[in-house]
């Protein structure tokens, strides 16, 4: 898979945020780790697989969007044409041209949207820490035959390694051993492991393709730039 376009786009977005918000020289790594964990929780909430107390455990992958123009009514405007004492005022309704009177403007995928929000923060952390190399994976690390379908275990393991990537302090001996064995220092290796688990959850757990993830990422990236323009 190719990540370079996403890595570059995230660098551009982060640089803009830092400039717009006057954050030059600030260490934003801790905030970004927390933001990532918040987005992962929102992703899980849309996934719903762990909600054993609920009869509704289906992931939120298709939600109808209401037309912005008519607010879902299907009518763009109306004009009064007649008043009648018995039936009251009558109106002539005009079909909304934007949605052709359906009141809808297509579907959105909340699960995928939350997933790519997390992609933003994974990549942002990698950029801030100089861990971009950790984002590149091997095909066998995303082998669907190696995914057992236990989403809760994969999610909790991902969260565990993500926490280690930030808070764990390793000895020089541990660092040397990890570097010699895996090619990364321990914190970066933990981050890489969390990223691989995350990709497996999305791609093997929910069937996202990389093309879907990439397209959704850039769609949200564009929205994030608009938000910055509008003073978000």
- The single residue listed with the structure tokens 């069937």 is 207
Residue scoring higher pLDDT (158 or 83): 158
**Burial label, 185 (beta-carbon count in 10 A; 0-12, 13-18, 19+):** middle
Q: What is the pLDDT of residues 197-229, one digit of tens each?
A: 999 999 999 999 999 999 999 999 999 999 999
**Per-residue pLDDT at 116 exceeds 70:** yes
Max CA pair span of the chain: 91
Mean pLDDT of 69-90: 60
pLDDT band, very low/low/confident/very high, at 80 (cuts 50, 70, 90): very low
- The single residue listed with the structure tokens 């790594």 is 29
4-62+110-229: which CATH topology? all-alpha NTP pyrophosphatase fold (1.10.4010)
pLDDT of the residue at 231:
84
pLDDT band, very low/low/confident/very high, at 99 (cuts 50, 70, 90): low
Mean pLDDT of 53-65: 88
Q: What is the mean pLDDT of the chain?
A: 90
**Per-domain boundaries in the chain:** 4-62+110-229, 64-108
Asked if 206 contacts 111 with a C-beta cutoff of 8 angstroms, the reply is yes
Residues whose CB falls within 8 Å of the CB of residue 219, separated by 6 or more in sequence, listed in order: 116
What tokens does 148 get?
């057992």
Residue scoring higher pLDDT (180 or 87): 180
Mean pLDDT of 33-46: 98
pLDDT of the residue at 105:
57
């Amino acid at each position: 898979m190719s990540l370079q376009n996403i890595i570059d786009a995230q660098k551009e977005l982060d640089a803009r945020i830092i400039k717009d918000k006057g954050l030059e020289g600030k260490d934003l790594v801790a905030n970004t780790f927390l933001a990532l964990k918040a987005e992962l929780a929102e992703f899980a909430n849309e996934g719903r697989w762990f909600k054993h107390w609920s009869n509704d455990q289906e992931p939120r992958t298709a939600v109808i969007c209401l037309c912005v123009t008519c607010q879902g009514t299907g009518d763009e405007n109306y004009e009064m044409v007649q008043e009648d004492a018995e039936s009251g005022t009558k109106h002539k309704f005009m079909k909304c041209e934007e949605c052709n009177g359906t009141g809808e403007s297509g579907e959105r995928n909340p699960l995928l949207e939350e997933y790519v929000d997390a992609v933003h923060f994974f990549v942002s952390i990698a950029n801030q820490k100089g861990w971009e190399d950790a984002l590149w994976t091997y095909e066998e690390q995303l082998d669907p035959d190696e995914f057992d379908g236990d989403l809760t275990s994969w999610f909790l393991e991902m969260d565990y390694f993500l926490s280690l990537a930030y808070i764990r302090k390793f000895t020089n001996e541990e660092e040397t051993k990890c570097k010699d064995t895996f090619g990364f220092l321990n914190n970066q290796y933990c981050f890489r492991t969390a990223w691989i688990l995350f990709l497996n959850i999305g791609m093997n757990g929910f069937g996202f393709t990389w093309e879907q993830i990439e397209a959704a990422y850039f769609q949200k990236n564009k929205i994030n730039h608009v938000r910055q323009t509008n003073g978000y």
